[in-house]
């Protein structure tokens, strides 16, 4: 695959001021020289040229060439910056294909960078994450991964495991002498250190994956508690219909928002109670399903509610035990909310808000940001399910090695556990990756990257 010349547009389709076409592979520099009338290029220097294109077309363009291995892909490469007409872009692609290039597959430029050792798999994934980022926090984490922060942390753990394996294997090579290249107490200490490091890394996984994939925040409560008003207040626009009539919201309403840099799907739900008709029953069922899958549930409570509604709110709160939940007292601008005490079951952290005058909304946003906020270990964060799974494999193997070492067990068993842990870390960085794993990762990339 790497012996072929590939070409693709690196800018989105459609009209624009400029367009960028990338080439990589053997003959890339010679091909753009032919398009520019056999122009001789200095590597890494932008050069203004006149392109000669099919059907008598031409364009004033800028070409930059990169000689291997000093390019993104590690191959001979070139970038053509043209005017952003789709006609010109198509003409350039046709001219390149006519001269032996083929259109690149999605992610193929980054795949070649990985295969040529310019990036490891974590950094390659970060390229896609950086392109897809919609918040500043996502950009910061993706940039950190692309710069190698997570890769260096994983590599350091792998180096420590490799050192321990070497010491244990050396001890096994001289069984008759009874000599240990590492004393049992020191071995236990170093294994415990590795296990703790892996646990801390795993501790960043849940918030890191939320940061990358987004979180689900569900606003729930009984009918007419003020859920839709709060929904609108958090979105800062009137998205949901608000009326004094209980049960106005019958279906889920979902909109995008951001709290603490984490992209969120914010959901307004139907009031949860014993439904009286089929339509309301369906709305309540959907609300309950949404609550069950939420990362955070915001329970909205109107202190003026009593009887069945108050009991329903209490039952809903109790079902959320152990979950990320926030109790919000609505209608804070009314006399009722000011005069009545907050129920003890809400806990001491209940927030009083008013969607009408905005009081308490900033505090709620801060609370959501704190719950969803980014947890890091030494400044690095696991952001993908693949990262989390392999880190968990490493953690389990290290935990088993610690248990065996504490019990004075066989060094051969410890070696087996360390090999399993090291393999997981190597898979995380893509030191050796199966073709199906690579295909799964790089197929999600955009064309030209």
Report the C-alpha gap between 301 and 292 in whole angstroms: 19
Q: 381: annotated binding-site residue?
A: no
The pLDDT tens digits of the residues spanning 140-188 come to: 999 999 999 999 999 999 999 999 999 898 888 776 566 677 888 999 9
Q: 321: annotated binding-site residue?
A: no
**CATH of range 213-372; options 2.60.40.1120, 3.40.50.2300, 3.10.20.600, 3.40.50.300:** 3.40.50.300
Alpha-carbon 70 to chain mean position: 29
Q: 245: annotated binding-site residue?
A: yes
List the structure tokens of 24: 């990589």
Looking at domain 6-120, its CATH superfamily turns out to be Probable tRNA modification gtpase trme; domain 1 (3.30.1360.120)
Q: 22: annotated binding-site residue?
A: yes
For the beta carbon of residue 420, count every other beta carbon within 10 angstroms.
17
* CB-count exposure of residue 12 (10 Å: 0-12, 13-18, 19+): exposed
Q: 435: annotated binding-site residue?
A: no
227 pLDDT tier (thresholds 50, 70, 90): confident
**CATH of range 136-204+380-429; options 1.20.120.430, 3.30.70.20, 3.30.420.40, 3.40.50.300:** 1.20.120.430
pLDDT at 250: 66
Q: 248: annotated binding-site residue?
A: yes
pLDDT at 37: 85
List the structure tokens of 296: 């955070």
- For a pLDDT cut of 70, what percent of the chain falls above it? 88
Map out the domains of the chain as residue ranges. 6-120, 136-204+380-429, 213-372
pLDDT at 177: 60
For the beta carbon of residue 130, count every other beta carbon within 10 angstroms.
16
Q: 439: annotated binding-site residue?
A: no
245 pLDDT tier (thresholds 50, 70, 90): low
Q: 243: annotated binding-site residue?
A: yes
Q: 116: annotated binding-site residue?
A: no
Q: Counting every residue, how long is the chain?
A: 449
Angle, helices 121-132/435-442, rounded to nearest 10 degrees: 20
* Average confidence (pLDDT) over 207-225: 89
Q: 74: annotated binding-site residue?
A: no
* Average confidence (pLDDT) over 410-419: 94
Report the C-alpha gap between 65 and 33 in whole angstroms: 10
Q: 270: annotated binding-site residue?
A: yes
Q: 430: annotated binding-site residue?
A: no
Q: 449: annotated binding-site residue?
A: yes
pLDDT at 87: 96
Report the C-alpha gap between 447 and 449 in whole angstroms: 6
Q: 331: annotated binding-site residue?
A: no
Strands 262-268 and 253-259: antiparallel
| Residues whose CB is less than 8 angstroms from the CB of residue 155 and which lie 6 or more positions away in sequence, other chains included | 429
The pLDDT tens digits of the residues spanning 103-139 come to: 999 999 999 999 999 999 999 999 999 999 998 889 9
**199 pairs with which residues across the strands?**
none
* Average confidence (pLDDT) over 37-60: 90
Report the C-alpha gap between 236 and 358 in whole angstroms: 10
Least trusted range by pLDDT, from 2-11, 127-136, 170-179, 253-262: 170-179
Q: Say whether pLDDT at 335 is over 60.
A: no
For the beta carbon of residue 299, count every other beta carbon within 10 angstroms.
25
pLDDT at 314: 85
Give which of 285, 363, 289, 372 is closest to 324, Cα–Cα. 372
Q: 91: annotated binding-site residue?
A: no
Q: 229: annotated binding-site residue?
A: yes
* Cis peptide leading into residue 69 (ω within 30°): yes
- Cβ atoms of 249 and 283 within 8 Å: the answer is yes
Q: 232: annotated binding-site residue?
A: no
């Amino acid at each position: 695959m790497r012996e072929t010349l590939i070409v693709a547009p690196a800018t989105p389709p459609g009209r624009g001021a400029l367009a960028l076409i990338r080439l990589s592979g053997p003959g890339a520099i010679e091909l753009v020289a032919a398009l520019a009338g056999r122009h001789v290029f200095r590597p890494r220097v932008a050069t203004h040229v006149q392109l000669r294109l099919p059907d008598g077309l031409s364009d004033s363009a800028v070409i930059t060439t990169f000689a291997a291995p000093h390019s993104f892909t590690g191959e001979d490469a070139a970038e053509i910056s043209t005017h952003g007409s789709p006609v010109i872009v198509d003409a350039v692609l046709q001219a390149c294909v006519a001269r032996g290039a083929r259109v690149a597959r999605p992610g193929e430029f980054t795949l070649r960078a990985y295969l040529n050792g310019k990036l490891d798999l974590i950094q390659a994934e970060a390229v896609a994450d950086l392109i897809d980022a919609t918040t500043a926090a996502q950009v910061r984490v993706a940039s950190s991964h692309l710069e190698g922060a997570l890769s260096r942390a994983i590599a350091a753990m792998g180096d420590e495991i490799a050192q321990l394996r070497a010491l244990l294997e050396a001890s096994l090579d001289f069984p008759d002498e009874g000599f240990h290249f590492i004393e049992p107490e020191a071995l236990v200490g170093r294994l415990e250190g590795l296990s703790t490091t892996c646990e801390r890394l795993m501790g960043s996984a849940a918030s890191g994956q939320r940061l990358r994939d987004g979180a689900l925040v569900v606003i729930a409560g009984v009918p007419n508690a003020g859920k839709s008003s709060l929904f609108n207040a958090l979105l800062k626009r009137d998205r949901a219909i608000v009326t004094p009539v209980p049960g106005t919201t019958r279906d889920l309403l979902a909109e995008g928002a951001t709290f603490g840099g984490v992209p969120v799907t914010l959901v307004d739900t139907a009031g949860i109670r014993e439904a009286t008709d089929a339509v309301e029953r369906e709305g309540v069922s959907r609300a309950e399903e949404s609550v069950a899958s939420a990362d955070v549930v915001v329970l909205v409570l109107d202190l003026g509610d009593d009887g069945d509604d108050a009991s329903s709110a209490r039952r809903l709160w109790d079902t959320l035990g152990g979950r990320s939940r926030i109790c919000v007292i609505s209608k804070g601008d009314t006399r009722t909310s000011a005069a009545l005490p907050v129920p003890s079951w809400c806990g001491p952290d209940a927030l009083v808000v008013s969607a009408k005058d905005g009081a308490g909304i900033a505090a709620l946003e801060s609370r959501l940001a704190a719950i969803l906020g980014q947890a890091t270990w030494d400044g690095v964060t696991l952001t993908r399910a693949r990262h989390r799974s392999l880190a968990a494999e490493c953690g389990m193997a290290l935990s088993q090695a610690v248990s065996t070492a504490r019990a004075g067990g066989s060094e051969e068993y410890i070696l087996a556990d360390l090999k399993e842990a090291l393999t997981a870390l190597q898979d995380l960085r893509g030191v050796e990756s199966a073709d199906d794993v690579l295909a799964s990762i790089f197929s999600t990339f955009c064309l030209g990257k």
